[in-house]
Structure 1
Amino acid sequence: MNRPSISRLCWAAAAAGTGLLGLTLVLFGVIALPTASAAGGATSPSTNVPTANAATTALTTAQIQAQNKIAVDTMNEQAMQPKILSDGTKEFDFTASTFQWALYPGKSEEAWGVNQQVPGPVIRVKVGDKVKFVVHNDLPEPTTIHWHGLAVPNDMDGVPDMPEPPISPGGSFTYEFTVTQQMVGTHWYHSHYDDDLQVDSGMNGVIIVDPADSSEQPHYDVDALFALGATKVDGVDAEDVFTIDGKAYPYAPELTVNQGQTVLLRLVNTSGESYHAMTLDGYTLRIVAEDGQPLPDPQSVSVVSIAPSETVDVAFTADQPGDWLFHDTIESNLTNPDDTKDAMGGAETVIHVK
């Protein structure tokens, strides 16, 4: 059985205020890890580069709770509803803009994202759909949308000047294509202009493509999405906040499943620079697809290594009741900068098996 390190379990026990008893209960999946209270954050007005400072009243508790609900909806794959045009085309309206986004208690950043959320809206389409994405750019610099892993026409690919120029501030562009069989699976979209800044600031999202006939894909009782992200706060050069569905622990959404259910986790590395190496304590995971492509011989692993831009689908049967940590195994990805109240942070959450 895979369990957290003793040092990390001690952090959990201390945070729970239960000492050695808490350590034992967390170790055997009896109790969940604590959830901190909400707080806001601030941004630097002197630069366009997203930064974050100590807690302020920039975001109210209600706003933070609403943003955390967006993260839960992302995990649950609540997809954006398109406008259906007269010819059956599915039209999605995207607006790229800057906004304040809460990362964890006491820390927020000036995010750059789609439709005021990080990551952007989940898009779910199926083979044969004609789709149109109308993108409005309210950012302070040009941007694009690249459909990572989708073989779209070259002028719809979102690579600046190949051949289409990027979308200027205040401008708009419409991406149009027909969903093909090649596109089936878990993929993502992201800016391809000033990638290092814009992707880490939130200009990305997940697109899930289903086959035209749903019977062509395996059935799972639970289908959940964990977008693994990273961003830079306090003006640093390297990524220093690591997130799940746009939130660092303890704001990262928690998944609850019933004992005996089969579970599919769609893992997407939206980090611009960093690897993630994810594990679910107490469980072995089966890698069933990589970059949207099903594996003919699924691999059983304890740790799933995901490079930037990769997607990996993993599956397990929830046969061990308890509250289990789902977390990065890279130690530097498990703390929150300037957080003196909680030693745990970053890319981790809890999966509850009831």
Structure 2
Amino acid sequence: MTGDEDWLIYRGAGEPHDGIDRLPPPPRWREFGGQPLVEPQLGTDGSGGRKLGEQERATTYRADAEVTEIVNAALYLRRPLLVTGKPGTGKSTLAYSIAHELKLGPVLRWPITSRSTLETGLYRYDAVGRLQDASLRQGGTRPLLRTNSGEQAAPPSIGRYIRLGKLGTALLPQKRPRVLLIDEIDKSDVDLPNDLLNVFEEGEFEIPELTRLPDDQATVEVMIADGTDRVPIQRGRVRCNAFPVVVLTSNGERDFPPAFLRRCLRVDIRTPNRQQLTEIVTAHLGPEVVAASEDVIERFLDDRRVGDLANDQLLNAIYLASSGGRPPEETRSRLLDALLRPLSQPGQ
């Protein structure tokens, strides 16, 4: 390292590269060394086909200098990143940008609700399905499995009934880290942030249903969260090799325990200024559209002084104004009023 931008692994420029291979070893207290390494077959990010989908946003997202620096600090220290900011400022998109630029595969997105628990993030065990299958076979309703020689085969492995969650899949012992997006953590039950602490510190978890199995079933293959591929789990223990790139987003709707905050690096994504907005619109829609939409950008900036507005609202408004059809001026004005309505004033 020369003390300049050579230290940046993530550059925030939207161009994929192999910079992750230059990442130095972690601090000794963040070494995990899970073995044996697994290489699950990764699918593609299904969001790419959506209008203004996350994959498109990943390629057009531009992180400012402060965000880029904090992301790189999190990569070096193998620490989770807590991203705060107003709705629509690109908090979730940052995770997709990191995954796209560093070529880390599809993002593992775990959307948080008040019913989300640590266990649902780690794995799901379909005990009812396993019991039903066993009952049907014993009752003769479902045909018995047989080997090629005609002998009765052993019942299906318990691994058929276990699927890792997004957090559990991110913690598999892989050579390269996966990107895990824990979206809107402030919507969680009050206990979830504290429940995550031990997993973040230890980089591992256990599946009790597998730890209780006899020695001849020490290795069990289970399904991963983002596909049908199966990976081997030994003695019911999952321990990461490369700590995942964890991005937690928050709209600032609640406070988090100091112990949780101490284990995260924090960055606040500010609302973009005029130049940044212009760059965002240019990246999505092209420079010609920007030149023809100066009035919409001015309107967006003026309305943002009254209430919160999301970047998506501006993109939608400019796209509608430049998509080819030209509504009457009165209709256009009403549509802009609807599209650029401040989020903090939903009923007006």
TM-score normalised over the length of structure 1: 0.21
Is the strand fraction higher in 1 or 2?
1
* Higher relative contact order, structure no. (Cα contacts within 8 Å, ≥ 6 residues apart): 2
- TM-score after normalising by structure 2: 0.21
Higher helix content, 1 or 2: 2
Pair member with larger Rg: 2
